[in-house]
Amino acid sequence: MLNLIIADTSLETIPDNLYRHPSLRKLRHSGKKPSDILLDRSFHHFAMVSTGLENHHKRGRPDILHIALINALATPLYRNNMMKVFIHTVNNNVICVGDNVRIPKSYIRFEGLMINLLKTKKIISDEGRLLLELRSQTNFKRLIKEIVKSDIVVGLSTTGVYRKLESIAIDLSSQNNPCVVIGGFPNGYFSDSVDSCFDKKYSISSVGLESQVVVSRLVYEYEKNVLA
Amino acid sequence: MLNLIIADTSLETIPDNLYRHPSLRKLRHSGKKPSDILLDRSFHHFAMVSTGLENHHKRGRPDILHIALINALATPLYRNNMMKVFIHTVNNNVICVGDNVRIPKSYIRFEGLMINLLKTKKIISDEGRLLLELRSQTNFKRLIKEIVKSDIVVGLSTTGVYRKLESIAIDLSSQNNPCVVIGGFPNGYFSDSVDSCFDKKYSISSVGLESQVVVSRLVYEYEKNVLA
């Protein structure tokens, strides 16, 4: 079983002080509460920058998580229950994705689902299956030690040692409960608290690759070793 | 140079008769014109079905195109100007994607861009570069014969002959101007007018794969033959 973590990604509703920013007057007039709106740089960039929002270059990009997740959950590996998927956010929320979960491709439906998850902490299917579970105040180290409990944690980052993805995938597939970590942020590097948990850190390309490209290629290469 | 066509996909504004459907009263009251709204099954499903919209199972899914395109344009192959990307829609619009184009990951920004493209037929960068060009009333055959002009057209479909993707990619990379066609629809098969243009038709998996999975894997395998 492969464990895939999309780490240091952003998924949060709009912080209260941001909501009161003059540039978001129209939003307030729409009658939506802050807890009904995902923080999104496409719309809240000015407010994010001018209120000096901490760590703002990594925040407000739920689209990155959405597309990486769509790619991960559509793979035969996941569909065959041979991969567990976890999401770790920059504000230390962890989301455990259940088996056979389908995330809506429609962003607007995805947004609604995530807002619901942030409020209720759990998304349960009509048949009572746990689809998504949010564990708040769970930092990356706790995710690894208490939830994933993997033998080896491999981070993929441009700051790692160059190694061919095929070779990394072979290595991972020879482990009992391997874990691979992919960044879910627009640019920059893993936070120190994530980076310090890696047993190995590899770079798979001379240029930075977007999260969904890394997810797709990694899972595909891994599948070659474990699926006929 | 690889030519990639995302075919039989859906990208259109809401048809006039649908706009008048009772279920879309709220939409009309918002003051938006039909030409300002992409047809989207997430919101217009009931109106699509109850007005008997032709070919409706393939329409109203701009999210599929968005995610497939995001995956294609983020690949090193495209970024290195070694792949041309074309979009063919079920209502015979063709979109030619220029070089070094970045499509917004944010769906709401993508939607705005596409509505603009459908209105103005061209998206031009601030420096005057043609990013996206819409050619209306261009069927798939004309796209192949007059625009792509490729030596060989390979379709990927569950109805094709099974062949390993690695082997297909090697074959494609040995051609001068190969073209590969991927379906951009939710389920079902290519339309006859697309299917009849294939020189070869291959299946790469025993189960149906979503468009973005096929795009990612195909481009990755092709890259292995042409990028160091």
pLDDT at A114 over 80: yes
What is the band of B151 on the pLDDT scale with cuts at 50, 70, 90? confident
Among the partner residues A63, A71, A220, nearest to B220 by beta-carbon distance: A220
pLDDT at B8 over 80: yes
Residue type, A86: F
Let me know: does B211 contact B183? Beta carbons within 8 Å.
yes
What pLDDT, on the 0 to 100 scale, is given for residue A60? 95
What pLDDT, on the 0 to 100 scale, is given for residue A30? 84
Residue type, A34: P
pLDDT at A188 over 80: yes
Residue A126 in tokens: 């009509």
- Per residue in B110-132, pLDDT (tens digit) is 999 999 999 999 999 999 999 99
pLDDT at A113 over 80: yes
What pLDDT, on the 0 to 100 scale, is given for residue B131? 98
pLDDT at B228 over 80: no
What pLDDT, on the 0 to 100 scale, is given for residue A25? 87
Among B19-23, B65-69, B202-206, B212-216, which stretch is predicted with the lowest mean pLDDT?
B19-23
Instruction: Please state the separation of Cα A165 from the chain's center in Å.
Output: 20
What is the band of A72 on the pLDDT scale with cuts at 50, 70, 90? very high
Residue A200 in tokens: 């190995």
What pLDDT, on the 0 to 100 scale, is given for residue B122? 97
What pLDDT, on the 0 to 100 scale, is given for residue A224? 97
Q: Spell A157-188 as b/e; 16+ CB within 10 A means b.
A: bbebeebebeebbebbeeeeebbbbbbbbbee
Q: Please give the average per-residue pLDDT across B160-186, as a whole number.
A: 97
- Per residue in A84-94, pLDDT (tens digit) is 999 999 999 99
What is the band of A180 on the pLDDT scale with cuts at 50, 70, 90? very high
Residue A119 burial (CB count, 10 A): 11
Chain B residue numbers with beta carbons less than 8 Å from the beta carbon of A222 are: none
pLDDT at A203 over 90: yes
Query: B71 and A212: CB-CB below 8 Å?
Result: yes
Separation of alpha carbons B6 and B37, rounded Å: 22
Separation of alpha carbons B64 and B82, rounded Å: 23
For chain A, give the number of residues.
Answer: 228
Alpha-carbon separation of residue B204 from B21, B159, B166, B167 (angstroms)? 41, 10, 10, 10
What pLDDT, on the 0 to 100 scale, is given for residue A105? 94
Residue B211 in tokens: 């468009």
Q: Please give the average per-residue pLDDT across A63-80, as a whole number.
A: 98
pLDDT at B221 over 90: yes
- Per residue in B69-110, pLDDT (tens digit) is 999 999 999 999 999 999 999 999 999 999 999 999 999 999
What pLDDT, on the 0 to 100 scale, is given for residue B39? 95
A212 interfacial to chain B (CB closer than 8 Å): yes
List, in order of start, the domains of chain A with CATH numbers: 2-10+62-99+135-226 (3.40.1280.10)
Query: A74 and B109: CB-CB below 8 Å?
Result: no
Q: Please give the average per-residue pLDDT across A17-26, as a whole number.
A: 88
B213 interfacial to chain A (CB closer than 8 Å): yes
Chain B residue numbers with beta carbons less than 8 Å from the beta carbon of A74 are: 209-210, 212-213
| Percentage of chain A exceeding pLDDT 70 | 100
What pLDDT, on the 0 to 100 scale, is given for residue A17? 87
pLDDT at A28 over 90: no
What is the band of B27 on the pLDDT scale with cuts at 50, 70, 90? confident
What is the band of B68 on the pLDDT scale with cuts at 50, 70, 90? very high
The Cα of B214 is separated from the nearest Cα of chain A by a number of Å equal to 10
Helix H segments across chain B? 16-19, 25-29, 41-50, 62-73, 76-79, 107-120, 140-142, 165-173, 192-195, 211-226
Query: Of A40, A45, A61, A63, which to mutate for an interface test with B (greatest number of B Cβ within 10 Å)?
Result: A63
What pLDDT, on the 0 to 100 scale, is given for residue B26? 85
Query: A207 and B67: CB-CB below 8 Å?
Result: no
Burial zone of B176 (CB within 10 Å; 0-12 exposed, 13-18 middle, 19+ buried): exposed
What pLDDT, on the 0 to 100 scale, is given for residue A166? 97
Separation of alpha carbons A3 and A81, rounded Å: 11
What pLDDT, on the 0 to 100 scale, is given for residue A159? 96
SS3 assignment, position B76: helix
What pLDDT, on the 0 to 100 scale, is given for residue A126? 93
A106 interfacial to chain B (CB closer than 8 Å): yes
Separation of alpha carbons B225 and B228, rounded Å: 8
Residue B117 in tokens: 């493209």
Residue B190 burial (CB count, 10 A): 22
Task: Give chain A as a DSSP string.
Answer: -EEEEEEEE---BPPHHHHTSGGGHHHHHTT--GGGSB--HHHHHHHHHHTT-TTGGGSS-HHHHHHHHHHHHTSHHHHTT-EEEEEEETTS-EEEE-TT----SSHHHHHHHHHHHHHHSEEE-TTS-EEEEEETT--HHHIIIIII--S-EEEEEEEEEE--HHHHHHHHHTSSS-EEEEE-SSSS---HHHHTT-SEEEE--SS---HHHHHHHHHHHHHHHH--
Alpha-carbon separation of residue B65 from A46, A148, B17, B157, B163 (angstroms)? 29, 34, 24, 17, 25
Global pTM reads 0.96
φ, ψ at A43 (rounded to 5°): -115, -25
